[in-house]
């Protein structure tokens, strides 16, 4: 009887050791995982800025289901280029006369690309859609994107 107890303890310890090694390997690979570069990702959608703004203004819930967390290539007129206190750029696309716009926060790896842009130029940006801010106060609606990179000028 004592022999079976020892054997069960050994197998239990061996199983725990194997599970622990597997968990350690998984943790190590997740910790050292590299983020995919947005420039190498294939866009799920390619759309004009005016069309995208129109889709969101007509039905924001349906558009959110369609575009949210997807890689989108957007072509449009550079309305403005905003720079925050840390030196990161936000590319704003849309009609300069309209209040609504598409706001693309630049990826840190591609931040320098935005510094060469000039207002009024037609550019293509690839980014991940993160949401929509509706026009509740008459200030204009914004479609928000993160991890942006400039595709062509």
**Sign of the CA dihedral running 115, 51, 46, 60:** positive
pTM over 0.85: no
Q: What is the pLDDT of residue 152?
A: 65
Q: What whole-number distance in Å separates Cα of residue 36 and Cα of residue 29? A: 15
Mean pLDDT by groups of 10 residues along the chain of 153 residues: 70 92 94 84 92 90 92 93 90 88 90 86 93 77 91 67
């Amino acid at each position: 009887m004592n022999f079976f107890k020892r054997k069960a303890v050994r197998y239990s310890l061996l199983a725990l050791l194997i599970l622990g090694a597997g968990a350690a390997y998984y943790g190590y690979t997740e910790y050292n995982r590299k983020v995919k570069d947005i420039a190498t990702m294939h866009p799920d959608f390619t759309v004009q800025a005016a069309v995208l703004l129109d889709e969101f203004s007509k039905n924001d819930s349906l558009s959110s289901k369609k575009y949210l967390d997807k890689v989108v290539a957007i072509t449009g007129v550079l309305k403005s280029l905003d720079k925050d206190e840390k030196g990161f750029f936000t590319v704003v696309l849309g009609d300069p006369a309209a209040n609504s716009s598409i706001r693309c926060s630049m990826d840190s790896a591609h931040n320098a690309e935005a510094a060469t842009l000039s207002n009024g130029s037609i550019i293509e940006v690839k980014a991940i859609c993160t949401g929509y801010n509706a026009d509740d106060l008459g200030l204009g609606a914004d479609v928000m994107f993160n991890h942006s990179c400039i595709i062509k000028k």
